[in-house]
Amino acid sequence: MRKLKFHYEMQLDFTGDVTRHSFALRCLPKDTCTQSIKKLSCAITPLTSITKSWDAFGNPMCFGFIEEPHDSFSFCVSGLVITNSENIDHGELNHIFYYPTPQTTLTHGMEPYLALAEQQRDPVQKALRMSDELYHRFIYKPKSTNTRTTAQQALDQGSGVCQDYTHIMLALCRHLGIPARYVAGFMIGEGATHAWLEVYARGHWIGIDPTNNRVVDDMYIKMSEGRDASDCIIDKGVFFANVQQNQSVFVKVTQEPLD
């Protein structure tokens, strides 16, 4: 069990004014059996009213609309979370997690991973063995992919970021009939948001982080889950203007003493 303090900032800077800006944010961690939210604050600039709801996967969402002209948009979320990975997530299995999506489909290049998985009988061990192989074969390379990159494209080029590691693992697990879901959140340290997967085996969900070749533990904070990254987009919006935009993200997670 750990107490984690987190701070997350996202800023969009536009090259000119935008108006009639509608947005949907998946930026809030949620209470689960493995994490309990003790403090939570959210600030959005420009100031506007927010409607809170949940998506089809139970992820908390914030909706808003800014009518007035503005050349930047930002939100800041911070709080305290008690994590306890010893609690077992017996959450319901949605059978949609058995099936590939356009971003998590592999048609070739799976053979080295599947051959190793076949040496194991337990689904978790199969997933861990493939994750270990991916960790040693795949190269972490920032900016080598984008949000639309598929698992096949990333596997073919042999490099990518945490989203790509996770998409490849989702494709491999689902190919073997192991239900698996995409998870977006934070990991202890400083930098950006993180992604990993959870497989459903032994009657519960188990988190695996292929980017760092480890089982997910108390050092992680979950924000959202879904079939792939498209279900966990943190900031989605539309606005009126002919401008370009630049996004910056900063995440910091530190451990606090337990009371």
When pLDDT is averaged across residues 197-215 and rounded to a whole number, the result is: 96
pLDDT, mean over the chain? 95
pLDDT tens for residues 50-72? Answer: 999 999 999 999 999 999 999 99
| 171, 100 Cβ separation under 8 angstroms | yes
**pLDDT at residue 259, as a whole number:** 76
Count Cβ neighbours within 10 Å for each residue of 21-36 and write b for 16 or more, e otherwise.
bebbbbbbbbebebbb
Query: What is the reported pLDDT for 117?
Result: 96
What the block records as the tokens of 228 is 């792939």
For the segment 108-113, the average pLDDT, to the nearest whole number, is 96
**Cβ neighbours for 136, distance < 8 A, ≥ 6 positions apart:** none
Q: How high is the pLDDT of residue 91?
A: 85
Residues 7-35 pLDDT 10s: 999 999 999 999 999 999 999 998 999 99
Q: 50-54 and 139-140: which strand pairing?
A: unpaired
pLDDT band at 92 (very low <50, low <70, confident <90, very high): confident
Residue 163: in which H helix or E strand, if any?
Answer: helix 162-175
Closest CA to 196 of 135, 144, 255: 135
Per residue in 122-150, pLDDT (tens digit) is 999 999 999 999 999 999 999 999 989 99
Give the pLDDT score at 231. Answer: 96
Q: Helix, strand or coil for residue 72?
A: strand
